[in-house]
Chains A and B, each alone.
Chain A
């Protein structure tokens, strides 16, 4: 066993683990008698530095990148995985900084330790091709996020949301584990490569194996908040501490999507007529239809901005699944690209909500942001780009992402003259639903940019957070205008 290689590969994670212990120790030691805001900002900065060092380590790793597969797929590196893990770490720094100004709880170090544990877990989900490894990592993410959701002391429904999240999450994990056991039982392997090989060698598809995959879909459908496994999302998004909600909406989504794409690998590489492909395609299409319709229609009626973002997340999970129905390499690249783009825009939107809405002392309604352009034109302008990217308006990244998803869906059967074959009907439905979604997205922007109301308090924005927001917005614009370099990373994964 090559320990040197292993330590090198895990260096970023080790740095973060040290950061977690340092945060806990320092909070309970030196900072014991300091007041809450002071403790909060000191620990947040400490934690940010450890994430940043981890990120730097990852950049070095990425530069000397080698394809790397360790311990039966428990630790796998490729350019895509490096990139996504780095994105997760970078976003985590932003989330930590968002929490730095406003302590949500007295348990300062626990809050950050949980955030970091969730981040580590996401990293491991992304770099795993092993059923067991991925499951453990995913549970690390989920357990941390359940606890984070409950941490908002001032907000009573926070505990209720956490309980809901936990019960739903526990059941869905059970489904997934059950599915894994079927897959393992039929193929005799936990490693995705072994599974793919064993599957390819099978003359017919055993029904148990298909059942296993469908159960996995149920479990992951919960993680990405696809309808009908979405019931937890609105409550959690609304009642979790806003930075934690942002992290649930973005980081865990990227990780779960990466895992979904990885687990579908046997179907993606299977021949065109394989029954597994057809069955999974139909199942994914069903989830996509329900998510798009349910999410978009429910979002129309929302008045609470975070709840609206939750329904928009459900709808977007539907669009993501549209890209997967064809089970193609392009679909995989499209889904990862869209997950990244979606997460950037959502993180930005959550950040704006957290910064401006945090001062209200209650849940921020959409109407609370009226007249925002007057007191905080910069924030309103940034929100403009985030929301329009979510809506898929060119030239922003959301448009390219959606277009690529639709392209991937149709590609398998590009002839429009036959509606029964191919996925034109699904893309048509997605387009209709995009039009519907415009209504509520514009409703948000109307509050920010159109209404002429005075008396909104001006909120001071921390320069670090402002910088990060501007970088996010630039990213959303740049990835819309010149998506090719980013697309290359995801397509190369092949």
Chain B
């Protein structure tokens, strides 16, 4: 029951916040914080109680399996394992921090949090679903609120960006639905536990359905060439929404790729893995190079998200335990650090400087030293600084890629080399952009002659938010076994199926 209380809490939160009068935005934010923290607490409880098992029948914990729509074969079937666990934690964490970083929101706060929690409820639901139909329902629930969050509270070209994001997402879910129908008609069940425990599909079927499902999910994960919704959407979104988008929603796609596409169709995955890996490397390199060229600070972070999601896809494409563990770790790691970077750029720095254009920043390192150093640490963490979670996860992914029979062991070995180039490009744009943003003083400042004033320091909610996100990145960076143990225990079942 604890696991689905995350879903229930979110939807109740949406309802309660939505029904509160808009002028009480002060009480609404406390209510919102309450629901977000309760969700995080429930996720932490799940984490505490989960014991990895070597028996597949005991892999999923806290299972609820109830009748729902018998005529359509759909059941309300939920539970979690070592793969969904870090993502539950991530969702809870980002949800809390999203509220903290939009603490001063007063425009239509009731509606904002109604959409916000509806989105979070959908995300929890996807991570907990063990029924393919239910998973799809939650997957779509998570799309619509994004439109309104961006179109109503967003910035740069918000209507365009919101529509683009939603159309891309729905195109993806259309593909997913097609794949889900094919699976249902071939196997006769939506039950993921059953589907994951047996071999249901012929190799020919898998080779056809795998790309449909994988691409459908990967659109949401920001896979090149379907990534273009991500930067525009992230940039236009209000801070909390872009944290959720980059932190959590892109992981929905990656989670679907892993759980549904690779999990159910292992031999299809083997056929397509080299292509997926190739695309993943394009993601990494292309995202990094485009980030290097951006003038808008938020676009830099937007493209860096695309680049980092490339590591997730590369990890998935390795199809071995190390690489896929790295992929899940990277989902968590990028979720935390990406959300922090968006919060700093779109929220903390923007509210002070009132601009996101890198050319207009003037000596920020002196005028907001604490924030600047916080950003630098976060950016280095995102780049893969040892000690933070990004280092561990990218290391796992690369080790997995070198060790993968499907990649380095085959004629597609050059792909792995490409990933190395991507890492160099990541170093490049991170350092260049840190320099441009903080260490450059402009010769012709608009207030020429006036003493450059310092910006106000971090507020308490911002401090707590930064602390939570950076702290968890550090914690997982120093003690990766907190997550890797459970992740690899559950991934073992996938790997066994892939080995056959």
A residues adjacent to B (C-beta < 8 A) = 333, 373, 388, 393-395, 399-400, 403-404, 406-407, 410-411, 414-417, 424, 427-428, 431-432, 434-435, 438-439, 442, 445-446, 449-450, 482-484, 487-488, 491
Q: Is the CB of B141 within 8 A of A449?
A: no
Q: Is the CB of B185 within 8 A of A411?
A: yes
Give which listed residue, A394, A399, A427, A491, contacts B71 with CB less than 8 A.
A491
Q: Which residues of A contact B50 (CB under 8 A)?
A: none
Q: Which residues of A contact B136 (CB under 8 A)?
A: 394
Instruction: Give bound CA distance, A488 to B72, whole Å.
Output: 11
User: Quick one: given A407-B181, A450-B148, are A431 and B70 in contact (CB under 8 Å)?
Assistant: no
Main secondary structure of the interface of B (DSSP, over half): helix
Instruction: Give bound CA distance, A427 to B175, whole Å.
Output: 11
Rank and list the top 5 A-B pairs by shortest CB-CB distance, nearest first: A414-B185, A431-B174, A416-B182, A394-B137, A435-B170
Q: Is the CB of B151 within 8 A of A416?
A: no
Name 25 A/B residue pairs within 8 A (Cβ), A-sorted.
A393-B141, A395-B141, A400-B69, A403-B72, A404-B71, A404-B72, A407-B181, A410-B181, A415-B185, A415-B186, A415-B205, A416-B186, A427-B178, A431-B175, A431-B177, A435-B171, A438-B166, A438-B170, A439-B163, A442-B147, A445-B148, A449-B111, A484-B70, A484-B71, A488-B71
Q: Which residues of B contact A438 (CB under 8 A)?
A: 166-167, 170
- Cβ of A437 to closest chain B Cβ, rounded Å: 10
Instruction: Give bound CA distance, A491 to B208, whole Å.
Output: 33
Q: Is the CB of B186 within 8 A of A449?
A: no
Q: Is B218 an interface residue (CB 8 A)?
A: no
Q: Which residues of B contact A487 (CB under 8 A)?
A: 69, 71-72
- Cβ of B109 to closest chain A Cβ, rounded Å: 14
- Cβ of A379 to closest chain B Cβ, rounded Å: 15
Instruction: Give bound CA distance, A196 to B359, whole Å.
Output: 78
Q: Which residues of B contact A395 (CB under 8 A)?
A: 137, 141
Q: Is B5 an interface residue (CB 8 A)?
A: no
Instruction: Give bound CA distance, A263 to B170, whole Å.
Output: 36
List the B residue with the shortest CB-CB distance to A446: B151
Q: Is the CB of B204 within 8 A of A417?
A: yes
Q: Is the CB of B140 within 8 A of A393?
A: yes
Instruction: Give bound CA distance, A445 to B186, whole Å.
Output: 38
Q: Is the CB of B170 within 8 A of A434?
A: yes
Q: Is the CB of B151 within 8 A of A483?
A: no
**Interface size band for B:** 35 or more
Q: Which residues of B contact A424 (CB under 8 A)?
A: 178, 182
List the B residue with the shortest CB-CB distance to A373: B111
Q: Is B159 an interface residue (CB 8 A)?
A: yes
Q: Is B254 an interface residue (CB 8 A)?
A: no
* A424-B178, A432-B174, A487-B71 given; 14 more Cβ-contact pairs under 8 Å: A373-B111, A399-B140, A400-B69, A406-B177, A407-B181, A410-B185, A414-B186, A416-B205, A417-B204, A428-B178, A435-B170, A435-B171, A438-B166, A482-B69
Q: Is the CB of A442 within 8 A of B185?
A: no
Q: Which residues of A contact B12 (CB under 8 A)?
A: none
- Cβ of B23 to closest chain A Cβ, rounded Å: 12
Q: Which residues of B contact A434 (CB under 8 A)?
A: 170, 174
Within 8 A of A (CB), among B163-219: 163, 166-167, 170-171, 174-175, 177-178, 181-182, 184-186, 202, 204-205, 208-209
Q: Is the CB of B174 within 8 A of A435?
A: yes
Give which listed residue, A393, A411, A450, A488, contacts B151 with CB less than 8 A.
A450
Q: Which residues of A contact B70 (CB under 8 A)?
A: 484
List the A residue with the shortest CB-CB distance to B168: A435
Q: Which residues of B contact A439 (CB under 8 A)?
A: 163, 167
- Cβ of A366 to closest chain B Cβ, rounded Å: 14
Q: Which residues of A contact B177 (CB under 8 A)?
A: 403, 406, 431
List the B residue with the shortest CB-CB distance to A411: B185
Instruction: Give bound CA distance, A446 to B163, whole Å.
Output: 10
Q: Which residues of B contact A388 (CB under 8 A)?
A: 144
Q: Is B492 an interface residue (CB 8 A)?
A: no
Instruction: Give bound CA distance, A427 to B140, whole Å.
Output: 18
Q: Which residues of B contact A333 (CB under 8 A)?
A: 71
Q: Is the CB of B167 within 8 A of A416?
A: no
Instruction: Give bound CA distance, A187 to B165, whole Å.
Output: 56
- Cβ of B144 to closest chain A Cβ, rounded Å: 6
Q: Is B152 an interface residue (CB 8 A)?
A: yes
- Cβ of A485 to closest chain B Cβ, rounded Å: 10
Instruction: Give bound CA distance, A133 to B361, whole Å.
Output: 79
Instruction: Give bound CA distance, A373 to B163, whole Å.
Output: 20
- Cβ of B264 to closest chain A Cβ, rounded Å: 14
Give which listed residue, B140, B152, B159, B209, contacts A394 with CB less than 8 A.
B140
Q: Which residues of B contact A445 (CB under 8 A)?
A: 148
Give which listed residue, B72, B147, B171, contacts A407 with CB less than 8 A.
B72
List the B residue with the shortest CB-CB distance to A436: B167
List the A residue with the shortest CB-CB distance to B171: A435
Instruction: Give bound CA distance, A373 to B186, whole Å.
Output: 46
Instruction: Give bound CA distance, A415 to B177, whole Å.
Output: 15
User: Quick one: given A393-B144, A416-B205, are A435 and B167 in contact (CB under 8 Å)?
Assistant: yes
Give which listed residue, A410, A414, A417, A483, contacts B69 with CB less than 8 A.
A483
Q: Is the CB of A442 within 8 A of B182?
A: no
Q: Which residues of A contact B184 (CB under 8 A)?
A: 407
Instruction: Give bound CA distance, A415 to B204, whole Å.
Output: 11
List the B residue with the shortest CB-CB distance to A337: B71
Q: Which residues of B contact A450 (CB under 8 A)?
A: 148, 151-152, 159
Q: Which residues of B contact A373 (CB under 8 A)?
A: 111
Q: Which residues of A contact B205 (CB under 8 A)?
A: 415-417
Q: Which residues of A contact B151 (CB under 8 A)?
A: 446, 450
List the A residue with the shortest CB-CB distance to B70: A484
Q: Is the CB of A431 within 8 A of B178?
A: yes
Instruction: Give bound CA distance, A487 to B73, whole Å.
Output: 13
Q: Which residues of A contact B170 (CB under 8 A)?
A: 434-435, 438
Q: Which residues of A contact B174 (CB under 8 A)?
A: 428, 431-432, 434-435
User: Quick one: given A407-B72, A484-B69, are A416 and B185 in contact (CB under 8 Å)?
Assistant: yes
Q: Which residues of A contact B71 (CB under 8 A)?
A: 333, 404, 484, 487-488, 491
Instruction: Give bound CA distance, A434 to B175, whole Å.
Output: 12
List the A residue with the shortest CB-CB distance to B107: A452
Residue among B143, B177, B184, B186 with the most chain A CB within 10 A? B177
Instruction: Give bound CA distance, A302 to B166, whole Å.
Output: 20
User: Quick one: given A404-B72, A450-B152, are A394 and B208 in contact (CB under 8 Å)?
Assistant: no
Instruction: Give bound CA distance, A445 to B170, whole Å.
Output: 17
Instruction: Give bound CA distance, A393 to B342, whole Å.
Output: 29
Instruction: Give bound CA distance, A406 to B178, whole Å.
Output: 9
